[in-house]
Amino acid sequence: MAEPLQVSDADFEQEILKSDIPVLVDFWAAWCGPCRAIGPVVEELARDYAGKVKVAKMNVDENAKTPAKYGIRAIPTLIIFKGGQVAEQITGAVSRSIIENALKKAL
Q: Are 76 and 32 in contact (CB under 8 A)?
A: yes
Tell me if residue 32 is catalytic.
yes
Give me the amino acid identity at 51: G
Predicted local distance difference test score (pLDDT) of residue 84: 97
pLDDT tens string 32-60: 999 999 999 999 999 999 999 999 999 99
pTM score: 0.96
Helices 33-48 & 96-106, crossing angle to 10 degrees?
50
pLDDT for residue 1 is more than 60: no
Q: What is the mean pLDDT of the chain?
A: 96
What is 5-106's CATH number, 3.40.30.10, 3.40.50.10470, 3.40.710.10, 3.10.20.90? Answer: 3.40.30.10
Instruction: Please identify which of the residues 7, 35, 45, 60 carries the catalytic annotation.
Output: 35
Q: SS3 for the chain, per residue?
A: CCCCEECCCCCHHHHHHCCCCCEEEEEECCCCHHHHHHHHHHHHHHHHCCCCCEEEEEECCCCCHHHHHCCCCCCCEEEEEECCEEEEEEECCCCHHHHHHHHHHHC
Q: Which residues are paired to 80 by β-bridges?
A: 24, 88
Q: Where are the domains of the chain?
A: 5-106
pLDDT tier at 2 (50, 70, 90 boundaries)?
confident
CA dihedral (56, 41, 30, 53) in degrees, to 10, reads: 0
Q: Are 82 and 24 in contact (CB under 8 A)?
A: no
Tell me if residue 98 is catalytic.
no
Instruction: Please identify which of the residues 32, 46, 72, 80 carries the catalytic annotation.
Output: 32
